[in-house]
Structure formats: structure tokens, C-alpha cells
Amino acid sequence: MIIFFKSCPKCGGDVFSETDRFGRYRQCFQCGWVRDVAEPVRAAVPEPCKHDHRGAGVPNSDASLAAS
């Protein structure tokens, strides 16, 4: 349990943070104010590309030298 002193937006009382089977929430000890706490959004990390792109779009320098 985490306690946030004097942080209730309704009465200025002390708020605690707790988790139950429905998720995380904050509630005021003095007036009973309750607010659900949104879960943080996790960014999707793209998988690395499996193709070899070295030299893509660049003419082969060996072939151009052999043609000369």
C-alpha cells in the first residue's frame, strides 16, 4: 500500500493506492473518494528484420570495374 498525503482532490485528505482483482485504484481515507488507476500502456517493440540489406540498391563495384 502506498500513501499519498494530502492528495485527495475532493477533501485534501490522505489517499492510498491498492490493487484488487479488478485492477489498481486510489482511495481517500477521510472521504472515501475512489479513482481507478489506468494500467501503463506498453509499446510494442518490432522484431528485427531478418533480411540482409547490406548493399541494397548500390551497384556492385566489382562488376562495374570488370566491364571497363
**CA pair distance 41, 49, nearest whole angstrom:** 24
Interval 9-13 mean pLDDT: 96
- Give the pLDDT band (50/70/90) at residue 24: very high
What cell does 65 get?
A: 570495374
Q: What percent of the chain has pLDDT over 70?
A: 75
Interval 18-24 mean pLDDT: 91
Q: Considering only CA atoms, which of 44, 35, 41, 42 is closest in space to residue 8? A: 35
* Higher-confidence position of 53 and 62: 53
Q: Which pLDDT score, from 0 to 100, does residue 7 have?
A: 94
CB 42 within 8 A of CB 24: no
What cell does 40 get?
A: 501503463
